[in-house]
Chain A
Amino acid sequence: MYEFDWSSIPGALPLLGKGLLVTLEVTLTAIVVGIVWGTLLAVARLGANPLLAGLAAGYVNLFRSVPLVMVILWFYLIVPQLLKAVFGEGIADIRLTSALVAFALFEAAYYSEIIRAGIQSVPRGQVAAGLALGFTPAQTMRLIVLPQAFRNMVPLLLTQAIILFQDTSLVYVIGLSDFFGTAYKVGDRDGRLVELLLFAGAVYFAICFAASQVVRRLQSRGVQ
């Protein structure tokens, strides 16, 4: 039978904490940029300009049909070239930058679908009322439709954030030391991969389960 030895975990906690910070940094950047960029995409898709609508639809469909692993690898390949073109040589570690860009642009596609559905759930009369009051279409969208849409979407946006938090572990493919990457490296170093992997799984479970319970309470409060 396998004999567990958890002794390498306490000493590794500071390292694991640093890894968790990287995980949170990628998650939060992707949420913020993803929602802003996703809103623009959703508005473009529903807008009157067929060229913009087509481009936005193409962007969303492309990102949604490719695995996240491939997107991370793509940006790990492209971002260095871009950075070199902009800043010249001398950028040491581009893994974090490329991961941030990859997750932000990838998540925007998923967020934009949620936001589009949210906008479409606002009754048509609201738009008509806004226009009748003399708002321009852009003002109607910004001041009347979007605030109502976002209130309806909060639970879905948060659920997507939990999925995103889990998905950031995939930065493993470019060797970035997020929480999971650190756990793996520590386990590999100490020959205690079994314990470290189980520990990582338990931590992710605790965080995501707690967060999903909060979302559930928000949801039932929203319905009333």
Chain B
Amino acid sequence: MGYHWNWSVFLQPTAAGDGSYLGWLLTGLQWTVSLSLAAWLIALASGTLVGVLRTVPNRWLAGLATAWVELFRNIPLLVQLFIWYFVLPELLPQRLGDAYKQSDPLVQQFLAAMVCLGLFTSARVAEQVRAGIGSLPPGQKNAGLALGLTLPQTYRHVMLPMAFRLILPPLTSEFLNIFKNSAVATTIGLIELSRQAQQLVDYTAQPYEAFIAVTLLYVLINLTVMILMRRLEHRVRVPGFVGGGQ
């Protein structure tokens, strides 16, 4: 096809004069990782809460939790992101909205993407937590209550620790998904990996090198997370359960 390969392009100084193109890639990697980790904390915290609420013996709370899951699961991630980024600031009280819109664009993009990804993933985490709690033998809850623990204490000390150990493998794949899903933040201009790939294409006219490098970085993130999580899974396996140790 007559394409002129030039891998040394990454070492060239950028047209904007801020270091090399390799530096751009690393900045992108930093934003992708920090966005994903921050969103994961939100997803894990709110997802656990919602997942627990779906199993409690209170119709209103369980219904509310179901509505939460359905809402975040049935609207595309991109639409949710645009609603957080473009719509919500307009609906805030005037002073708060103005203050937000006058803040650093990078802060706005990061906040919107973080909250969006976090809550989007929370619905999926909630489903796993609910499934984990549902798979526990009913004797566990009864034993906790019989010992004189209150229901919240039973959840905290008996059911959740067990449930989390059982649902670690599906949680791992949600954790991997959050890194991949973070790429949608490119649409609101956050300079994460995918955005840097497109910028590199615009500035260097070496599209293949840029895309191959970024694709490899995503594969690298994936492998790292998988290896770390496999170690964790190995450590916390529950003996006697399917997939557990002896």
Please give the residue numbers on chain A whose beta carbons come within 8 Å of chain B beta carbons, in ascending order: 1-2, 62, 65-70, 73-74, 77, 81, 85, 166-167, 169-170, 172-173, 180, 184, 193-194, 197-198, 200-201, 204-205, 208-209, 212
Contacts and interface: CB of A to CB of B under 8 A. Distances in A.
A205 B194 contact: no
B98 interface: no
A172 B186 CA distance: 11
Contact of A208 (B75, B91, B201): B75
Given A198-B83, A198-B87, A166 B1 contact: no
Contact of A209 (B70, B91, B176, B201): B70
A198 B82 CA distance: 9
19 contacts: A2-B91, A67-B179, A67-B181, A67-B183, A69-B183, A69-B184, A69-B186, A70-B194, A73-B194, A81-B1, A166-B76, A180-B79, A194-B86, A197-B86, A200-B79, A204-B76, A205-B74, A208-B74, A212-B73
Size class of the B contact interface (CB-based, 8 Å): 35 or more
Contacts of B176: 65
Nearest to A170: B78
A212 B74 contact: yes
Given A69-B186, A70-B218, A77 B70 contact: no
A2 B88 CA distance: 10
Nearest to A211: B74
A16 B73 CA distance: 23
A80 B224 CA distance: 34
A204 B77 CA distance: 11
Contacts of B73: 208, 212
Q: Which 9 residue pairs across A and B have the least CB separation, nearest first?
A: A67-B183, A65-B222, A166-B76, A208-B74, A69-B183, A67-B180, A169-B76, A169-B78, A209-B74
A2 B87 CA distance: 10
A205 B72 CA distance: 9
A81 B211 CA distance: 16
Interface of B: 1, 70-71, 73-80, 82-83, 86-87, 90-91, 93-94, 176, 179-184, 186-187, 194, 197-198, 201, 207-208, 211, 214-215, 218-219, 222-223
A70 B197 contact: yes
Contacts, number: 101
B211 A77 contact: yes
Contacts of B83: 197-198, 201
Q: Is the interface of B mostly helix, strand, loop or mixed?
A: helix
Contacts of A173: 186-187
A162 to B, nearest CB: 8
A166 B215 contact: no
Contact of B183 (A70, A172, A194, A197): A70
A204 B78 CA distance: 11
Given A201-B80, A209-B70, A193 B87 contact: yes
Nearest to B71: A205
Nearest to A82: B1
Nearest to B212: A74
A201 B116 CA distance: 14
A173 B201 CA distance: 14
Nearest to B79: A201
Nearest to A210: B74
Contacts of A74: 211, 215
A74 B176 CA distance: 21
Nearest to A167: B76
A205 B218 CA distance: 30
A56 B222 CA distance: 19
Given A73-B194, A77-B211, A194-B87, A66 B219 contact: yes
A73, A173, A184, A193, most chain B CB atoms within 10 A: A73
B90 A194 contact: yes
Nearest to B176: A65
B194 A67 contact: yes
A197 B79 contact: yes
Contact of B79 (A67, A70, A169): A169
B184 A170 contact: yes
A65 B71 CA distance: 27
A204 B82 CA distance: 14
B218 A67 contact: yes
A193 B86 contact: yes
Contact of A66 (B76, B186, B215, B223): B215
